[in-house]
Structure 1
Amino acid sequence: MDGEHTKLLLVTANVGSIFEDPEHMLKIWLKEFLATVQEMEPGMVAIHCQEVGGKNYEASMQHVNQFVKAMLGSDALQKYDRARVFLDEDYTAADKFTALGNLYFIHEGIEDVLIYDFIENKFQPVEGREVLSGNIENIQIKEKAKYPQNFFPEFKWSRKGFLRTRWSLNNCVYDLINIHLFHDASNIVALQKTPSVYCENRYRALAHTLQRFDADQFEKVPYFLFGDFNFRLDLHTLLKDLTEKTDVNEIRGKKNQISKLSYTDANSKVVLTIESKYFDHHERHNEVFSNKDKMLDKYDKELEAYKDKLYEYSINFPPSYPFSEDVNDGLSYMKTRCPSWCDRILLSHSTKDIIFTDEKHKPQYHIIGNDVCMGDHKPVFLLLWLKKGKATVSPSPELSQLPMATEVIVPSTQVKISEVDTTKYIHIRQNGTSARVFRETSV
């Protein structure tokens, strides 16, 4: 640990596809992520996951538990003696379920760490390791919201929302907010205009979120907003430039709607094909979208609408989505969507006051797993150093002294409280659903 500054590692990862192939992809993902933590040795690791459990959440629940247990039991995280893991797992609550997962690990070298209770409006000490899962609506050390359906009127169902926690690390206070905004459902619709209808939907949700933070009753502190924003390249403008010297052939389907676009060059060779869920720049696909020449930067416009509220470090990595899900291919993009920087780590302007930077402490903003398969989204990380705060934050004096265990046990949701060893874990039932609280300390 740096005596004056705290190294903070922020990671955002849409992990939906790795739960579709837990035998291979999940193991690769964990190996690469944990190697990154070992290499960087941060004082605090904050991982914001989206689509935890994948598309078929009910069937994948066991894999989520394995995912968390593998992290907690890994050699790379053994010196992180305090942890708070939030898993929004109650998929039966359709009006509240977000499939978000916030995982936080604190290194033993950090002496002073507190987390905020949003109901009691005060900080409490962080001791031991806790996994808060299942129905987490009544957990007070987080704020969570799912976006109203009218934000995404074209869609019947969505898991999109945010999950916020507030921390005091060496008296430096900040919020960590996990967010998931809606995707582009159709390439054909997305290219119709600038900004696209999907971009407008995302703007409505994110502007609402930022206004909510501005107007709520809590003290205003610097914040890191990181997750799957689903920001996309301006497809309307990009296509104009990519197809400037081509002819287009439109194929129409039901109700005379365009179902396919084929662009051909002067030799009648197809160079670009677009369908609702297909996007192929053929021979130039990986070359163009690797963005080695920074050509795509000017089409990455969605963040511009929030520049008065948010900023981002320079992006020097290729679009984070959609990468191939072939476990033997970590470099190619799938031919489903136009590759884009969906996964971002954004900061409020006030974070400039708490981040330390000099020649030896330069923020690093990049992807994890450059050349290995990490699922369709590459995790994006930001490594930086926090200044120590000057003011002392007083913790809540009423911290409950629940028993601590020496190992993590994943109980069945059917286990009755009378049947479990409460020195190893606490099993809570809330509103008829299961919320599990694991407690662990090293002995």
Structure 2
Amino acid sequence: MPETTKAARLRRSQIDILLKEIESEGLKDDSVLVAGAFNAQLFETHLLSDMASTQRATSYARKSSDGRLEGIEQRDRRGRSVLTVETHRFDLHSIHDWFFRLGRGQMVKKYNGELAQVVFGGKLLEESVFFQPSRHYGINKATEKEEFMKNLCPAWADRVLYNEKLSDLFRHDSFCASGLYYGLVAEKKYVGQHKPVALHATICLK
């Protein structure tokens, strides 16, 4: 099980508060949709470990004079830096943008588990994520093209969740179920550091 960071525990507690509020407001039996910037992040420690293994890289820790960890660097067998992590840097160097876009992010999807206790616990539901991470994007000044920024690890920070009651309205027949869409808005256009995430569905009002 990937290590849970302090920030991840905070996000989970905030979602638990949200779920309790929904129940206390008497909305438990209503159709509920919750959307926004959950700021969910990848299990970065697990990702770093796997990157070192697959690239046969050696990890080096950089510490301050008082022993605090300041950064981690991975170098391949030729001594080339392939990954650098610091407080405000997450950089896969030459493969950074390619790696997180590959297969619309499916290479790193297995590290996308922060909301699992909500989604897989049946508290709220989510459509399958078949789109690339929603943050953080910027414009490369040299190429004038959009790419993933290297200040934070790209992640599916923005999500759309809903409860079982609303799911039933999405799927009242096969035609409506086939019309579901869950993905990015402006996938191929720069609209800011975060790309909005949209859920399109036909709802049957009974």
After TM superposition, the score normalised by the length of structure 2 is 0.88
Question: Of residues 109, 112, 127 in structure 2, which corresponds to 1:300?
Answer: 112
How big is the shift at 1:261? 1.3
Alignment-derived partner of residue 195 in structure 1: 4
Q: 1:319 to 1:219 in 2, by over 3 A?
A: closer
**8 Å CA contact retained: 2:136, 2:148:** yes
Alignment-derived partner of residue 375 in structure 1: 192
What SS is found at the alignment partner of 2:193?
coil
Question: Of residues 262, 265, 269 in structure 1, which corresponds to 2:76?
Answer: 265
Alignment-derived partner of residue 156 in structure 2: 341
Q: Deviations over 1:258-317 (max 9, x none)?
A: 112111000101000110010110111112111417221111111211132111111111
Q: Deviations over 1:121-145 (max 9, x none)?
A: xxxxxxxxxxxxxxxxxxxxxxxxx
How big is the shift at 1:359? 3.9
More helix by share: 2
More strand by share: 1
Gaps of 5+ in 2: none
Give distance in 1, aligned partners of 2:170 and 2:58.
51
After TM superposition, the score normalised by the length of structure 1 is 0.42
What SS is found at the alignment partner of 1:375?
coil
Q: 1:350 to 1:388 in 2, by over 3 A?
A: closer
Alignment-derived partner of residue 279 in structure 1: 90
Equivalent positions of 1:14-413 (< 5 A) are 194-217=3-26, 220-244=29-53, 245-253=56-64, 255-292=66-103, 294-306=106-118, 307=120, 308-325=122-139, 328-330=144-146, 332-356=147-171, 357-359=173-175, 361-389=178-206
Which protein has greater RCO, CA pairs closer than 8 Å, 6+ apart?
A: 2
Give distance in 1, aligned partners of 2:87 and 2:194.
20
Report the count of equivalent residues.
196
Which has more radius of gyration? 1
* Identity across the alignment (%): 24
What SS is found at the alignment partner of 2:33?
strand
Q: 1:374 to 1:326 in 2, by over 3 A?
A: farther
Give distance in 1, aligned partners of 2:145 and 2:23.
43
Q: Which runs of 4+ in 1 moved over 3 A?
A: 217-220, 325-328
Gaps of 5+ in 1: 1-192, 390-443
Give distance in 2, aligned partners of 1:249 and 1:194.
19
What SS is found at the alignment partner of 1:318?
coil
